[in-house]
């Protein structure tokens, strides 16, 4: 793989140990994937910051990199850190203290401590054709598909390496020829809520492995619905991208979405398939809810507003913990607009930084969860030992108020 003189100096250690580490990792990735060169990136996003992922060894490594003077070269954000830095959620100190050390180490490298899985919601928005190195799978799916940016499904270390070096190997989704669709899903049932998009994503994601699906008749989805589709596909598949004909920027027509190919499979997605998608996200028999989670990926302002309107004048059932997950920026705006006060008067809590899928909510004594997130619904039984019920925000709020899931 061709390296510039500057890149060679980085690799040889002439620019310090952190850049030697970064370039060694990036050049190795490039060689494995037959990249011909490095390309500059606009943004980076580092994931894997949960203490569950890092452990003590990972913390010491991150602190060591910061001690050696590691500094990112491009605007870089980091993912959910699994504690709320402004609120005691009842997590043990043995979890909270090392988790905060992880975040501080990355901030010393110049990384913005946003602690959210949605960097595109607070100013880090690549445009069509720009290259980024993001490690959060749902954000990767959103950036490639909805924004038209070019982004491989990075791991936490490779995203950090790209951030330190300001570049990434030119392979995979950075190459135009790898971005065309592979299979067509013709949607013949109305998609009427963002939960429907989560069910669609789960059904399709289980079938495609690393293929790029093309959706015909997505019914003009809004941002929240596209976020849910992105997250669901990223959760249950190895894919990095989808196309929506007439919706996403690289699919104005079927012909363009497939790059002129005509030999693709065509699969119908109707009412039966939608029902199956929902069934795949229900894992419980016990309908007595003791935990409700909204916002994974982190809730948009519209989603917070919807929850506030549904909870206005109502009370969360005794024994139910109701968490709405969002980022610090959305939470601040929600407070200014009165949504936060309405939600918390009901007994629910709006968190920042935290997310059920990366935290350990079983420490709160939670066993049966209602959620509008296909990711929490998919991971919850395995990661947290939950029984899970999946539906839109209205169904989740109803369950939170009654303490019971009353829907099929």
Whether residues 16 and 161 share a domain: the answer is yes
* Span 16-63, pLDDT tens digits: 999 999 999 999 999 999 999 999 999 999 998 888 777 889 899 999
Within a domain: residue 360? yes
CA distance 40 to 327: 28
Q: Tell me which residue range forms the domain holding 114.
A: 5-176
Whether residues 170 and 196 share a domain: the answer is no
CA distance 85 to 118: 18
Whether residues 287 and 218 share a domain: the answer is no
Whether residues 292 and 354 share a domain: the answer is yes
**CATH code of residue 91:** 3.30.499
Whether residues 171 and 188 share a domain: the answer is no
Within a domain: residue 236? yes
**CATH code of residue 370:** 3.30.499.10
Whether residues 255 and 389 share a domain: the answer is no
Confidence of residue 91 (pLDDT cuts 50, 70, 90): confident
**Mean per-residue pLDDT of the chain:** 94
Whether residues 160 and 54 share a domain: the answer is yes
Within a domain: residue 408? no
Strands 43-46 and 132-134 come out as parallel
Whether residues 320 and 186 share a domain: the answer is no
Residue finishing a domain among 229, 260, 280: 280
Within a domain: residue 171? yes
* Span 306-361, pLDDT tens digits: 999 999 999 999 999 999 999 888 999 999 999 999 999 999 999 988 888 877 66
Whether residues 168 and 201 share a domain: the answer is no
pTM: 0.95
Whether residues 389 and 290 share a domain: the answer is yes
Per the listing, tokens 């929850």 go with 307
CA distance 162 to 151: 12
DSSP result, 114-171 = ---S-GGGTT----TT-BEEE--HHHHHHIIIII--B-----HHHHHHHHHHTEEES-
Residue finishing a domain among 148, 176, 204: 176
Within a domain: residue 407? no
* Span 200-258, pLDDT tens digits: 999 999 999 999 999 999 989 999 999 999 999 999 999 999 999 999 999 999 999 99
Residue finishing a domain among 240, 260, 280: 280
For the chain, how many structural domains are there in total? 3
Whether residues 127 and 193 share a domain: the answer is no
| Contact indicator for 388, 380 with CB cutoff of 8 Å | yes
Whether residues 105 and 196 share a domain: the answer is no
């Amino acid at each position: 793989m061709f390296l510039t003189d500057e890149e060679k100096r980085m690799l040889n250690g002439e620019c310090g140990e952190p850049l030697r580490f970064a370039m060694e990792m990036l050049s190795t990735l490039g060689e494995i994937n037959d990249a011909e060169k490095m390309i500059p990136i606009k943004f980076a996003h580092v994931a894997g910051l949960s203490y569950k992922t890092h452990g003590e060894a990972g913390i010491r490594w991150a602190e060591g990199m910061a001690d050696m003077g590691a500094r990112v070269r491009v605007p870089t954000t980091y993912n959910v850190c699994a504690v709320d830095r402004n609120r005691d959620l009842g997590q043990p100190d043995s979890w909270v203290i090392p988790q905060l050390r992880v975040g501080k180490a990355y901030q010393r490298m110049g990384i913005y401590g946003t602690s959210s899985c949605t960097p595109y919601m607070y100013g880090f928005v690549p445009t069509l054709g720009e290259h980024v190195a993001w490690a959060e799978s749902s954000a990767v799916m959103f950036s490639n598909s909805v924004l038209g940016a070019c982004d491989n499904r990075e791991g936490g270390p490779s995203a950090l390496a790209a951030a330190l070096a300001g570049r990434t190997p030119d392979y995979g989704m950075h190459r135009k020829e790898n971005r065309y669709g592979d299979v067509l899903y013709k949607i013949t049932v109305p998609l009427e809520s963002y939960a429907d998009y989560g069910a669609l994503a789960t059904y399709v994601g289980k079938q495609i492995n690393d293929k790029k699906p093309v959706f015909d008749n997505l019914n003009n989805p809004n941002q929240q619905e596209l976020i849910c589709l992105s997250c669901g596909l990223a959760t249950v598949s190895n894919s990095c991208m989808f196309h929506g004909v007439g919706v996403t920027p690289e699919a104005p027509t079927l012909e363009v979405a497939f790059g002129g190919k005509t030999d693709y499979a065509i699969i119908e997605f109707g009412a039966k398939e939608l029902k199956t998608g929902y069934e795949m996200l229900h894992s419980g028999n016990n309908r007595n809810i003791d935990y409700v989670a909204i916002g994974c990926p982190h809730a948009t302002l519209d989603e917070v507003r919807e929850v506030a309107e549904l909870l206005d004048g109502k009370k969360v059932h005794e024994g139910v913990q109701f968490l709405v997950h969002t980022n610090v920026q959305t939470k601040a705006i929600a407070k200014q607009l009165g949504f936060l006060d309405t939600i918390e008067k009901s007994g629910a809590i709006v968190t920042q930084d935290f997310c059920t899928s990366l935290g350990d909510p079983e420490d709160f004594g939670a066993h049966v969860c209602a959620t509008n997130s296909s990711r929490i619904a998919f991971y919850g039984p395995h990661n947290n030992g939950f029984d899970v019920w999946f539906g839109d925000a209205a169904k989740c709020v109803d369950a939170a108020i009654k303490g019971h899931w009353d829907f099929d």
